[in-house]
A and B are shown apart, each in its own frame.
Chain A
Amino acid sequence: MTPAITAEGMTIRFGSFTAVQDVSFQVGKGELFGFLGPNGSGKTTIIKALCGLLTPTEGTGTILGMDIRKQAAEIRRHVGYMSQKFGLYEDLTVAENLTFYAGVYGIKGTQAEQRTKELLALTGMEPYLRRRVGALSGGWKQRLSLCCAIIHSPQVVFLDEPTAGIDPVARRSLWDLFFQLSGQGVTFFVTTHYMDEAERCGRVGYIYLSKLAAIGTVAELQQLPAANPKGTVRVQIEAPDASVELTRLRSMRGVREATIFGRSIHALVEQHDLEAIRQQLSGASVEPVVPSLEDVFVTLTYEIMKER
């Protein structure tokens, strides 16, 4: 089976600045792929290149077997894209935006009507049909963006930070939509800064300083050697006053990272200092723990910075 999305040795430069460096990966059909990375790490740039909007300086990629260098126009007909910046017309109504995007994708007449109905039912946008988009709340705007991005029933959908700046309830309902569509075989490529969202994805890629630092399922990433450096253990510390303990902990020998995680502390400590630390934290429970996705990314980031 051909993968839905591939990137092969993709490098993208703007003048002398390298925004994406030698990135290769594959996303299978029907997968929900999460893409993470700090601001300016190159996520949007990669998406644009994959949609054929930007020609990579080196390397190439395919979407559903179509070459991004040669079949850009064809790709756009089969791909849905929701830009990071809200991209719909605020002075038009919900219905007008939908009609416009249906037209732009060449969907006409009863076919357009039917598809619109389907999407309205899916997202519950029906009551807002006559409302101007500018008057919608953030969550509804994003839902409408999604509708417009998938109005042509694309097999591959790129969503660039679809949940940035919207409330948790709207966020959850958007993700429910993604899962529902993904269940129908649509491939999703979603960028996000939220760890909880990343953890919901089938597979996750992490890009840091223009390079793909890690890729895999959440479980795979948690087992990554780079995330669990040799001679260290990751522990969860339950203490009555976590924030006070955190400052103390950070000053102790052999503590590489420590951060508050809920009501406890997650720390990466040297194996041979573990006992000493345990003693100093008398009374608190110190248990080995699997790293959270956030732990993985933070450790990865430190490791990469150390290598430089």
Chain B
Amino acid sequence: MKDLFYGLWPICRKEFTHIRRDPTTLFFTLAVPLMQLFLLGLAVDTNVRQIATAILDESHTPQSRQFVDKLAASDSFHIVAHVDSADKLDSAIRAGKARVGVRIPYDYARRLQEGNTASVLVLMDGSDSSVAGQATNASTGVAMQLSLTQLLGNSPMPVEVRPSVLYNPSTRSANFFIPGLIAVLLQMMVILMVALSLVRERERGTLEQLTMTPVAPLGLMVGKMIPYGVMAFAELCVILAVMRVVFLVPVHGNVLTLLVLSVPFLLTVLGLGLIISTKAQTQAEAFQLAMATILPSVFLSGYIFLIENMPPFFAVLSKLVPTTYYIRILRGVVLRGAGLQDLLLDAMILLVMGCAATGIAAWLFVRQQQHA
């Protein structure tokens, strides 16, 4: 067992020294994913302001008018039209005059007076098919819900806001989008770091010297995985903090659970990085191969296209993409507050994938040495 991982700790220590020795690279490695998170995350900013809003007040009561006044006074909404029928509300949105329609039902005041919960229907334009567009729409809804709750929070009126998206009911929210983004960014960073580290050794000739030592292939592989795994883990913590603090995505589950369940994913992408490093002769090649892994993890993982809506063939393919499971874990914990037991299967699958990837990388490495 010890022989299987021979040389692990010296490699691990050396790798940390390399990282410390080159603060510029370290800075960019850590900063780039954050920058990407900001850029892409801001495209789906949840802090929407002055959304063009159309109002359909069917209630025509002092209570409903008070509600509309509060809405108009808030910074989030800008009332562009008052309409008198549901059809007109729809067409205002369809025509692009308003992004949001608020419909106050005729029984609004009565239900409030009876002490029941009154519903306000919020309609949103879901026709914009671009991801950013969809996300913006959805986040509009979220923001709206938030502001409405705040708006009405102090009042004794129990009002329930029912956002509903027109034309594209399966659209996602920023809360939905950002966890997926985290998976993709993390994967990119990890694969690049570990693959480049090994390929650099190949390019510089230090690998040849190293292979003549008793270092075991798995010792070399795992010795490289640990330092970059630690870095990725630190980055994940920062990213999660940014998600929570800057993008105001609420985390419904336990952050610790999320961190623990992230380890199998990190293992998998580290393993993938190592496999790439055995295939690439130069750093440029490694870079291209790393980029190639991004495509399936963006399009097949449920990050953009819902797996439920995929053709069967792609739905099956998506099961082979590690990112699928991690996005499920992220969304599970962040959105649904899922616990360890709920996501254990996904984590186990990732763990198996990670061990397999590491083993395959070591095997490819040995095979390659025999021919080089």
Contacts and interface: CB of A to CB of B under 8 A. Distances in A.
B324 to A, nearest CB: 38
Contact of B18 (A79, A91, A105, A148): A91
A88 B14 CA distance: 12
A83 B10 contact: no
A100 B13 contact: yes
Given A87-B206, A89-B18, A91-B22, A104 B215 contact: yes
Contact of B205 (A55, A86, A96): A86
A62 to B, nearest CB: 17
Contact of B212 (A14, A76, A92, A103): A76
Contacts of A86: 205
A157 to B, nearest CB: 11
A87 B10 contact: no
Interface string A85-103: 1111111100010001101
B211 A53 contact: yes
A91 B22 CA distance: 8
A76 B208 contact: no
Contacts of B210: 87, 104
A69 B342 CA distance: 50
A136 interface: no
B206 A89 contact: yes
A168 B14 CA distance: 33
A115 interface: no
A1 B210 CA distance: 31
B18 A83 contact: no
Interface in A56-98: 73, 76-77, 79, 81-83, 85-92, 96
A100 B205 CA distance: 16
A103 B13 CA distance: 10
A51 interface: yes
B326 to A, nearest CB: 33
A104 B213 contact: yes
Nearest to A85: B205
Interface in B17-56: 17-18, 21-22
Contact of A91 (B21, B208, B211, B215): B21
A220 B9 CA distance: 49
A54 interface: yes
B311 interface: no
Contact of B214 (A82, A85, A91, A105): A105
Contacts of A55: 370
Interface residues of B, number: 27
A106 interface: yes
A145 B209 CA distance: 10
Contact of A81 (B17, B204, B212): B212
Interface string A180-224: 000000000000000000000000000000000000000000000
Contacts of A83: 205, 208-209, 212
A51 B370 CA distance: 12
Nearest to B3: A73
Interface in A99-124: 100-101, 103-106
Interface string B335-372: 00000000000000000000000000000000001110
Nearest to B22: A91
A90 B204 CA distance: 9
A100 B16 CA distance: 12
B370 A101 contact: no
Interface string B195-210: 0000000001110111
Given A85-B205, A87-B205, A100 B212 contact: no
Contact of A104 (B7, B18, B22, B208): B7
A89 B14 contact: yes
Pick the most buried of B3, B9, B17, B22: most chain A CB atoms within 10 A of its CB: B17
Contacts of A101: 213
B81 to A, nearest CB: 65
B18 to A, nearest CB: 6
A79 B211 CA distance: 12
Contacts of A73: 3, 214, 216
B11 interface: yes
A77 B214 CA distance: 6
A76 B214 CA distance: 5
A86 B210 CA distance: 11
Contact of A105 (B11, B206, B213): B213
B14 A100 contact: yes
Contacts of A145: 209
Given A77-B214, A91-B18, A103 B10 contact: yes
Contacts of A54: 369-370
21 contacts: A54-B369, A73-B216, A76-B213, A81-B209, A81-B212, A82-B209, A83-B209, A85-B205, A85-B208, A86-B205, A87-B205, A87-B206, A88-B206, A90-B204, A92-B14, A96-B14, A103-B10, A104-B7, A104-B210, A104-B213, A106-B214
Given A82-B209, A103-B7, A148-B209, 18 more contacts: A73-B3, A73-B214, A76-B212, A76-B214, A79-B212, A83-B205, A85-B208, A89-B14, A89-B18, A91-B22, A92-B14, A92-B21, A96-B17, A103-B9, A103-B13, A104-B7, A104-B214, A104-B215
Interface of A: 14, 51, 53-55, 73, 76-77, 79, 81-83, 85-92, 96, 100-101, 103-106, 145, 148
